[in-house]
Chain A
């Protein structure tokens, strides 16, 4: 029997944080990862590769194309390309069941999705933590902004976040490195929007990418495609940030290619005592034991694992005396917004591939009468950016030959686009369960039931209309709205597509209606912690990862204190 102080399941954004915090606090920790090992720098096999060295010139591998045969789900996203497909999970070996379309994008390696994430980081505010209590959707969060604020600071100082302070109550400022610069088109739109709509702000994205050196990591060199991996460690990933810190303690063991089948529960002690692991290569089972277990496997993988861990005490899944495990699945709804062209500014250009865009913080339902909507609750923010058209525009226009080549020698006109990211309400009928089918390791497949509700659909109309209204006010021409949603049951802005899936093992004050307490600790099983997106009781409208990180660091602190007190 192999025993550790702590087991962390998963090595992505939260798994890396849990490993770092627990090892630094003195715990001998085993971090278990389903996928292969990815070594910082060495395994970034397409980093800085010029386009002509990629045989398909970095083609997007869409559904049905050769090269995407094993990835029918991952290929739904535009991010899935020739240059980064090795950082996405192989759907053919990791199937799940969709009741209606739910696109589940997953990493399958040490580092998880931290290698390919969007890197946008925004703090929640009390507008978010009090939302469920105020409008009655979902259960009240057991924490408030004051509980997590110092942990946001702690995380930001370690991962490095560049951004601009705005002093907004609904989007608290953080510990920022200098912001990246806006380009001329964005500055024009910013000026126009802020003049026409007092109280709205156009700011550069707050992003976990360095603009100054930090802990041996170098500032961004603006090569562009972060998701190929970054040898200078300029964006936050497990490999660049938390893994080296955890390794430096010499208390970390990393176990790749190891799928956690289920948790081992001791009813006499009412504790988890370890995990059952299947070797992805040999398919042999092993057990590992520890005093405390952190689940950081990603929202749905964590819940699948809990559902598959049954016992006479917990016949419907471990720590599920409430019966809410698997329910209240959320994602952000997006791909509703507008775009337009900007006239002039033809002697303005930019240099460098800035892996970041602009952000417009939420301005609907922010607490005052003026911002209150009668047609929906909660709100949305926008992400977008301006750029000059490139050579690709030639494919949409008549003409060829010397004249076309001469035209494409220069950049085209400016255009500006933005898409909303909207909050999703927690609803009981959006849920996951175990299906009758099993994967090659004998683990039941997850079956996902999730659709957008009336509140999301009403909000989307405003997301598109308000974007167009702001672009028009800023003087943009040819303004067109867009909404990729094609109806329930259709592909197109379907749930999961924002890759912000969360909920299904929510935090709450009452053990009868929630799985986790205010420290991400299972109400039912004191030495079990869940700190990935599964813990979320509502979704806010901002990108969630930094909140997961802060909750993880806070939960680790609590767990170690409780261990010292002998309570676990």
Chain B
């Protein structure tokens, strides 16, 4: 019932905005309405991972934050990318793909142990970056070759893709780092300098 009410109110507001002819933006609307939802996703009290262990969750959060770090806007950890990854693994991935991803996490820690004698999370930031740089270079060879990519490169590509999806579709990524295209008119050709950042 609450769910229905929320939808109805949002749609009512959207209609009003349209009737007024204003190009009110989606984040303005949702910001006014969905504080509860936002908090629920970002840091719900009692939230717990359903597929990842606590240490796997932290490993994902650490890697994600290296991929999209905090700058003048929040990074992947603040955007809850690790929670999104747990949701995907729990509710979307077929079991073989989920297991492959978990094996990829284990492989990262195995590399960290053999190199530095500790898990990636326990490594210094410089050590973490050095390891992730290796994985990145292996996953995206400078020279394209026709032979199939080595299987271990699957994980880092996937981790990077999930981080980008999780970040740029989060409220932080979609409305603070980038911005959603406002509802209203369509303008087919505007100067990029007039908006200054990509639409999310």
Chain A positions near chain B (C-beta within 8 angstroms): 41-42, 44-45, 47-53, 55-59, 61, 64-67, 180-184, 186-187, 218, 220-224, 231-232, 346-354, 388, 390-392, 394-402, 404-406, 408-411
Contacts and interface: CB of A to CB of B under 8 A. Distances in A.
A53 B11 contact: no
A61 B88 CA distance: 11
Interface string B47-67: 000000000000000000011
B123 interface: no
Contact of A405 (B68, B88, B186): B68
Contacts of B105: none
Contacts of A349: 190-192, 194-195
B145 interface: no
Given A56-B92, A220-B186, A349-B195, A400 B26 contact: no
Contact of A218 (B18, B38, B177): B18
Contacts of B186: 180-181, 220, 222, 350-352, 354
A55 B87 contact: yes
Given A348-B192, A354-B186, A395-B164, A52 B137 contact: no
B107 interface: no
29 contacts: A48-B26, A50-B30, A51-B170, A52-B170, A52-B174, A53-B37, A55-B91, A56-B87, A57-B165, A57-B166, A183-B188, A187-B189, A220-B186, A221-B14, A222-B184, A223-B183, A349-B194, A349-B195, A350-B187, A350-B189, A388-B198, A390-B199, A391-B164, A391-B198, A396-B140, A398-B137, A400-B68, A404-B67, A410-B198
A423 B89 CA distance: 42
B140 A184 contact: no
B181 interface: yes
B192 A409 contact: no
A481 to B, nearest CB: 18
Contacts of B199: 351, 390, 411
A67 to B, nearest CB: 6
A409 B193 contact: no
B125 to A, nearest CB: 11
B189 A184 contact: yes
Interface in B151-192: 157, 160-161, 164-166, 168-171, 174, 177-178, 180-192
A8 B195 CA distance: 50
Contacts of A405: 68-69, 71, 75, 177
B136 interface: yes
B192 A400 contact: no
Given A41-B11, A392-B164, A402 B171 contact: no
Contacts of B140: 396-399
Contacts of B4: 42
Task: Name the residue among B67, B166, B198 with the largest chain A CB count within 10 angstroms.
Answer: B198
Q: Is the interface of A mostly helix, strand, loop or mixed?
A: loop
A232 B15 CA distance: 7
Contacts of B177: 405, 409
A400 B160 contact: yes
Contacts of A47: 7, 11
Contacts of A394: 160, 164
Contacts of A396: 140
A418 B137 CA distance: 33
A48 B29 contact: yes
B10 A48 contact: yes
A66 B94 contact: yes
A346 B192 CA distance: 7
B101 interface: no
A53 B69 contact: no
Sorted nearest first, the 6 A-B pairs with minimum C-beta distance are A181-B188, A352-B186, A398-B140, A51-B169, A395-B161, A349-B192
B68 A411 contact: no
Contacts of B189: 181, 183-184, 187, 348, 350
B34 interface: yes
Given A187-B188, A400-B66, 10 more contacts: A48-B26, A50-B30, A52-B38, A55-B87, A56-B87, A59-B88, A221-B18, A222-B181, A223-B183, A401-B66
Given A351-B182, A391-B168, A409 B26 contact: no
B35 interface: no
A232 B137 CA distance: 49
A59 B197 contact: no
A398 B142 contact: yes
Contacts of A399: 136, 140
A400 B136 contact: yes
A42 B8 contact: yes
A345 B22 CA distance: 28
Interface in B5-35: 7-8, 10-11, 14-15, 18, 26-27, 29-30, 34
A442 B157 CA distance: 49
Contacts of B18: 218, 221, 232
